């Protein structure tokens, strides 16, 4: 019953996310040749120097191969950004929000603990995010032969693991904040602010690169060096666990 209830609460956010990511994945594959035709223009821009030239030059160098193109367009940008958005949306809700709509008392009357309620709600959200991390990327593997290219299942799995483990911090932070606030938008907005700050810090402080949220989520080190971002993954898992434990503590102490 609890699992079914959690699914009903999140299903439309999940299904909309799945549909959107499927469309975006198809777009990445089908626009490959168009982007390749723009590479000479990118090379001319990179030769002009400056910050923009360096960024364009870096992108052009990585996207010179199909594997690099998929990583830059999909795992580094489209999937990463859209997945974070749906992690925010799936992390909101729960008992605190139900309290403003009169549903919390009924849920609390069930013969289960608040810890159990939170665990089911969080597990459902994480399972949905795991599907969003892996399945849409599989579309790229399936569709690539249409344009006479190939993309390995192994790469999809590795990047999916990096995205899910590191990105779960965003979901868990939203769940934690949702035990503080009685509306859906405040936790999402505060988490978004934290995410933007982390992204900015990662950009201006290269020393944070091994632990950077977005670099870990995108699996950059795997693409460039063939190694997993172990430091960032371990830190992310630890932070996620602490946030869920803190959320449980808040929920058990909250008066409905």
pTM of the model: 0.90
Final residue in a domain of this structure, among 17, 47, 64: 64
Task: Answer with the residue of higher pLDDT: 104 or 119.
Answer: 119
Structural domain count, the chain: 2
Buried b (16+ CB within 10 A) or exposed e, 53-68: eeebbebbebbeebbb
Question: Are both 100 and 168 inside the same structural domain?
Answer: yes
Question: Are both 114 and 199 inside the same structural domain?
Answer: yes
Q: What percent of the chain has pLDDT over 90?
A: 54
**142-182 tens-digit pLDDT:** 999 999 999 999 999 999 999 999 999 999 999 999 888 87
Q: Quote the pLDDT of residue 25.
A: 96
Question: Are both 37 and 54 inside the same structural domain?
Answer: yes
Alpha carbon distance 25, 20 (integer Å):
9
Q: Quote the pLDDT of residue 45.
A: 56
pLDDT of 4 > 90? The answer is no
Q: Quote the pLDDT of residue 113.
A: 78
The answer to whether residues 92 and 188 touch, using CB atoms and an 8 Å cutoff, is yes
256 band by pLDDT with thresholds 50, 70 and 90? low
Q: What percent of the chain has pLDDT over 70?
A: 82
31: left (phi over 0), alpha (psi -120 to 50) or beta: alpha
Q: Quote the pLDDT of residue 254.
A: 65
Question: Are both 195 and 128 inside the same structural domain?
Answer: yes
CA dihedral of 139, 143, 147, 151, whole degrees rounded to 10: 60
Read off the pLDDT of each residue in 35-62 and give the average, rounded to a whole number.
66
**8-22 tens-digit pLDDT:** 888 999 999 999 999
Question: Are both 195 and 92 inside the same structural domain?
Answer: yes
Record the tokens describing residue 220, joined without a space.
Answer: 């950059």
Domain hosting residue 129, numbered range: 2-30+66-253
Question: Are both 52 and 92 inside the same structural domain?
Answer: no
Question: Are both 19 and 132 inside the same structural domain?
Answer: yes
Read off the pLDDT of each residue in 194-214 and give the average, rounded to a whole number.
81
Read off the pLDDT of each residue in 35-61 and give the average, rounded to a whole number.
65
Q: What is the mean pLDDT of the chain?
A: 85
Question: Are both 103 and 211 inside the same structural domain?
Answer: yes
């Amino acid at each position: 019953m609890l699992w079914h209830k959690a699914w009903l609460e999140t299903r439309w956010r999940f299904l909309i996310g799945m549909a959107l990511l499927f469309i975006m994945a198809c777009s990445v594959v089908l626009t490959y040749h168009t982007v390749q035709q723009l590479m000479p223009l990118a090379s001319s821009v990179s030769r002009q120097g400056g910050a923009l030239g360096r960024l364009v030059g870096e992108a052009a160098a990585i996207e010179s191969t199909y594997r690099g193109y998929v990583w830059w367009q999909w795992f580094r940008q489209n999937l990463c950004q859209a997945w974070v958005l749906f992690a925010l949306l799936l992390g909101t809700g729960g008992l605190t929000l139900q309290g403003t709509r009169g549903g919390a008392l009924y849920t609390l009357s069930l013969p289960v603990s608040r810890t159990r309620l939170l665990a089911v709600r969080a597990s459902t959200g994480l399972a949905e995010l795991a599907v969003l991390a892996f399945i849409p990327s599989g579309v790229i593997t399936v569709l690539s032969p249409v344009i006479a290219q190939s993309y390995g299942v192994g790469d999809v799995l590795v990047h999916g693991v990096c995205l899910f483990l590191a990105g779960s911090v965003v979901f868990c932070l939203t769940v934690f904040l949702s035990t503080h606030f009685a509306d859906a938008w405040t936790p999402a907005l505060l988490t978004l602010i934290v995410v933007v700050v982390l992204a900015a810090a990662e950009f201006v402080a290269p020393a944070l690169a091994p632990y950077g949220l977005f670099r870990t989520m995108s699996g950059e080190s795997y693409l460039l060096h063939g190694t997993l971002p172990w430091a960032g993954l371990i830190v992310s898992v630890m932070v996620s666990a602490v946030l869920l434990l803190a959320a449980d503590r808040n929920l058990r102490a909250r008066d409905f």
